[in-house]
């Protein structure tokens, strides 16, 4: 599948297939930015202004200019190849909102875990969550803040204990083409996995 994302809707709605994916990760990793970059509609966002009280709970050491945070979810839509509509649901990153995750991921065919390599520890819980899901394939997307990564992909794979078969890609959440490549990677990985009950080997 071409990594170029399309914003053209199919002329035959009956031929369209819709699917749901989840964009997860730690606080301030770039989830909202990813959804906003690729959505063909104005994304629905539940961003709220951060208060002094929330700053006591959320580490903004490496994101001092972040003034808003997702308190429920982000939502966007993207039409691919005029045959597939992808609905994107972004999760809140803070631990106090994790009770929403089960509802948000229900029915999802896959997930993207957005990681800020400067704060790997913030990604542990998201990785652990989807490891336990097992039925939901995921890829890890390393958001390149300032155009760089703090560690190599293999170092990050080892630190987060990501299985060898799980794709890890680097990208720029602000760039539509780059963010679209992450979604393409997820779809290709999802399609390559054995279906439920299918024998491998």
Supply 48's token pair: 């709220």
Residue, of 123 and 201, whose pLDDT is higher: 123
Contact 138, 167 (CB under 8 A): no
Q: Which residues contact 58 (CB under 8 A, 6 or more apart)?
A: 27, 28, 50, 69, 94
pLDDT at 47: 52
pLDDT greater than 90 at residue 61: no
Residue pLDDT, tens place only, 99-148: 788 899 999 999 999 999 999 999 999 999 999 988 899 999 999 988 98
What the chain holds in terms of domains, given with CATH numbers, is 17-47+69-192 (3.40.50.300)
**What is the rounded CA–CA span in Å between residue 84 and residue 98?**
29
Per DSSP, which regions of 34-165 are E strands?
44-49, 68-80, 84-90, 110-116, 138-143
pLDDT at 5: 56
Q: What is the pTM of this model?
A: 0.79
Residue pLDDT, tens place only, 67-86: 444 445 789 999 987 788 99
Residue, of 3 and 145, whose pLDDT is higher: 145
Q: Which of 192, 197, 180 is nearest to 84 (CA)?
A: 180
Determine which of 57-66, 92-101, 127-136 has the lowest per-residue pLDDT on average: 57-66
Helix, strand and coil percent figures for the chain, each rounded to 5 = 35, 25, 40
**102 alpha-carbon distance from chain centroid:** 15
């Amino acid at each position: 599948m071409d990594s170029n994302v399309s914003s053209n809707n199919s002329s035959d709605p009956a031929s369209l297939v819709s699917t749901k994916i989840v964009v997860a990760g730690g606080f301030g990793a770039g989830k909202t930015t990813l959804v906003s970059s690729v959505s063909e509609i104005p994304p629905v966002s539940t961003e709220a202004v951060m208060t002094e009280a929330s700053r006591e709970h959320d580490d903004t050491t490496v994101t001092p200019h972040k003034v808003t945070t997702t308190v429920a979810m982000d939502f966007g839509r993207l039409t691919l190849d005029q045959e597939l509509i992808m609905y994107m649901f972004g999760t809140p990153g803070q631990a106090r909102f994790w009770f929403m995750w089960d509802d948000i991921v229900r029915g999802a065919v896959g997930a993207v875990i957005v990681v800020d390599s400067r704060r790997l520890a913030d990604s542990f819980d998201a990785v652990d969550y989807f490891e336990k899901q097992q039925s939901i394939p995921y890829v890890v997307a390393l958001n390149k803040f300032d155009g760089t990564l703090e560690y190599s992909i293999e170092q990050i794979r080892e630190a987060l204990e990501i299985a060898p078969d799980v794709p890890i890609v680097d990208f720029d959440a602000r760039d539509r083409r780059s963010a679209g490549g992450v979604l393409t990677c997820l779809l290709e990985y999802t399609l390559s996995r054995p279906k439920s009950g299918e024998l491998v080997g």
